[in-house]
Structure 1
Amino acid sequence: MKKFYVLICFFYILSGNAFSKDPMKIVYFDNFQPFSWQENHKMQGILIDVLNEALQKRMGIPLIHEGFPWERAQLLVKKNEADAFATVPTPARLEYTVVCKEPVINSTFTLFVNKNNPRINELKAVKNLSELNKFKLGHYIGSGWAKKNLDKMDIYWCGKLDQTIEMLSRNRIDAFIDVSQVVRYNVKKLKHEDVIIELPTIFDKSPFCLCIGKKSGYSNILNKFDETMKKMEADGTLEKIYQKYK
């Protein structure tokens, strides 16, 4: 009888249904609406809803969601004090994480400007990133995309995303380029739609992927996660979640 139970446990583990015994701790940027933000001590947003559906509901993995300033959140995964985050994979992040193939959401990067900026016509003429080097840009600390693409430009670094938008609303910076869905949502939330406009040129497209720390006990779940995400796209679940935040 004892051997029988040992065999059951062995095959249970091999089946892929047994994960790390501790809940999977996923960390987020705590001020990145509508993708992730903290309200009343609880994380919410597109990333949280998608990962709850895929990992917790469909794959049976218990989750803990925690929000931090973005640079700190990434450091927690790097130090193996958290299991994962969802963001744009960069060479720096790939050094310490393994990444899914099926994105949690696809993002576009567009330019946001103050319509009262005296250089508005120059800004409207910008068609590639290199042309931004003659302007004062704003961004938030911890953005891997900005470090990779805007590193040598004149950037005023803010502690939070909404601080960057406030700087733009006051014409303290010329432009802010980041994830279109996120900036658009926050401009509306902060009631700056009357002065901040989005220009139509798309400068980049990037997938937000589940990035799991290489030392995490959950680093082996990505194949099943990708299969689950494909099913969620096929049955319309992903689009329903996205629509909630438009």
Structure 2
Amino acid sequence: MARSFVLFILVWCFSGFSFSVQADEKKQRSFKIAYAESWAPISVGAADNVTGILPQLMESIIQERMGIPVEHHGFPWARAQQAVISGEVDAFITTPTAERLEFSHASQSVVFPLRFQPIVRKNSEEEFGFKSEIDITTTLKSKRYCDVLGNGWAKVFYRKKKLKYLVVPTLDVCLKHLAQGQIDIIIHAEPVATSFIEKLHLKKELKVLPIIMDSSPEFPLLVSKKSPFGQAFIDSFDQTLVHIKNEGLWERLITSPPSVTK
């Protein structure tokens, strides 16, 4: 009888210790996020060395407010999606297509809006004449536009507007053409365009107008269905993001260079 009692105590103590260890491990588990490795300034860097607007935003929401450690992982974009499908990482931030919703759950709140805005030459006719998106198909219909090969958003945008545009390999080519007067308007993702303008030292020549295209995409957080972070996590994430938006912090984080907001 005494031996059975001692055995019971030992089993009970071990079970309590095991549960405590498991709880600590669960509490400390990091939330792993996949990013495009070459999308400056939104996300840049391979493996676990990723910086940019999105990593900083995720740290502010998940790590600082929700108390869950965050790991950032940079991949070529196709590889990033595969990492979410397999459960290698917990989530990524992108368009919630029907295909992606087959292997992930989406947050209700928009995490990051990719705002497409016009870029023009300073003191040009386009700077003063571009007042709203409707001008593209009216007063600015005859202007020369430019965008990058492989930009699916631009392809759909100009097809719907029934406009032709110059297609070039990279955005820096478009920006140089614009500065030299070879084209008149570029409509591109504002953070990316601003980053290129600064790198090319064209801030004196070019200006991004504060006009956001209606079809600019908005990205939620997509959490892998194989992730241990389930619906309760997504609900908490949504609530936290709403609070950050109400405070005005979210807008500052998505519109300022990472080095400025830290």
Q: Cα distance, 1:226 vs. partner?
A: 0.7
Kindly provide the CA deviation profile for residues 35-80 of structure 1, in whole angstroms up to 9, marking residues without a partner as x: 22239x7322221112112222333333221223434433432454
1:223 shift after superposition: 0.6
Q: 1:27 aligns with which of 12, 27, 34?
A: 34
Match of 1:238 in 2: 250
Q: Residue 238 of structure 2: which of 215, 223, 226 is its match?
A: 226
Tell me, in whole angstroms, the C-alpha distance in 1 between the residues paired with 2:135 and 2:105. 29
Is the counterpart of residue 139 in structure 1 residue 148 in structure 2? yes
Partner of residue 45, structure 2: 38
Secondary structure of 2:173's partner? helix
Provide the aligned length of Structure 1 versus Structure 2: 233
Q: Distance in 1 between matches of 2:80 and 2:152?
A: 12
| 2:196 is the alignment partner of 1:189 | no
> Is 1:180–2:190 an aligned residue pair?
yes
CA positional deviation for 1:238: 3.0
Residue type of the partner of 2:108?
K
TM-score scaled to structure 1, two decimals? 0.67
Q: Residue in 2 aligned with 1:74?
A: 81
Say which SS state the counterpart of residue 96 (structure 2) adopts. Answer: coil
Residue 55 of structure 2: aligned partner: 48
Deviation at 1:170, TM superposition (A): 3.2
Secondary structure, counterpart of 1:102 in structure 2: coil
Q: Percent identity?
A: 28
The structural deviation recorded for 1:240 is: 5.2
1:127 aligns to what?
Answer: 133
Residue pair 1:54, 1:225 contacting (<8 A) in 2 also: yes
Q: CA RMSD in A?
A: 4.4
Query: Which residue of 168, 182, 198 maps to 2:208?
Result: 198
Q: 1:225 Cα shift?
A: 0.7
For the residue of structure 2 that corresponds to 1:28, the secondary structure is strand
Give secondary structure in 2 for the equivalent of 1:169. Answer: helix
Distance 1:178 1:70, change over 3 A: farther
Whole-angstrom distance in 1 between the partners of 2:256 and 2:113: 16
User: Deviation digits for residues 162-183 of structure 1, max 9, x if unmatched?
Assistant: x323343135876543322332
**Whose Rg is larger?**
2
> TM-score w.r.t. structure 2 length?
0.64
Alignment of 1:73-92 (within 5 A): 73-92=80-99
Q: Which amino acid aligns with 1:138?
A: D
Contact 1:113 / 1:197 at 8 angstroms: preserved in 2?
yes
Matched to 1:55, the amino acid is I
Report the structure, 1 or 2, having the larger helix content.
Answer: 2
Contact 1:97/1:211, CA 8 A, preserved across alignment: yes
